[in-house]
Structure 1
Amino acid sequence: GPHMGSPEFDGTLVRIWMPDGAPAYTADTEAEDPKVYEDEGVKRQWQSFLEKGRFEGGMPEVPPRREWCVWDF
């Protein structure tokens, strides 16, 4: 069934089962100003997290875009 992954501090992945599928979209989970997502540093930090499971240069203060979230793997 649908689930999402959440990395633990030691780098292991914990699966969170969501039997009803991914949660509905809400704008409250993204930055108010979409221009912040154009920043190369923000993109690099989130891309590193998506590819390696850890942030390059620390965790960004900007939440991820919805399309950067993986809900079923």
Structure 2
Amino acid sequence: MNQYFVQRYNGNVIVRFDDTNHAKESNLYVDNLLIDIKTLGINYEKSYTSDYFQQLIEMAEKLIKQGKAYVDDIGNKLKS
């Protein structure tokens, strides 16, 4: 479906990988997924969530300050 909409509206397919730090993680699965996507004839742009961590932190802090989000620290309490 994504490729259909890309062609119809002259857009881009963005393949985003959720990661903690892609520089330290194995690329085995990422590389194979990208090969499979390319085999289907789909052109894509690749991105990693970790590339946007600073921006995500800033947005989360803004939402917390606006009272539109909160942080639950129950996980830390359970570890003690």
TM-score clears 0.5 = no
Query: TM-score scaled to structure 2, two decimals?
Result: 0.27
Query: TM-score scaled to structure 1, two decimals?
Result: 0.29
Indicate the structure with greater helix content.
2
Determine which structure has more spread, i.e. the larger CA radius of gyration. Answer: 2
The structure, 1 or 2, with the larger RCO (C-alpha pairs under 8 Å, 6+ apart) is: 1
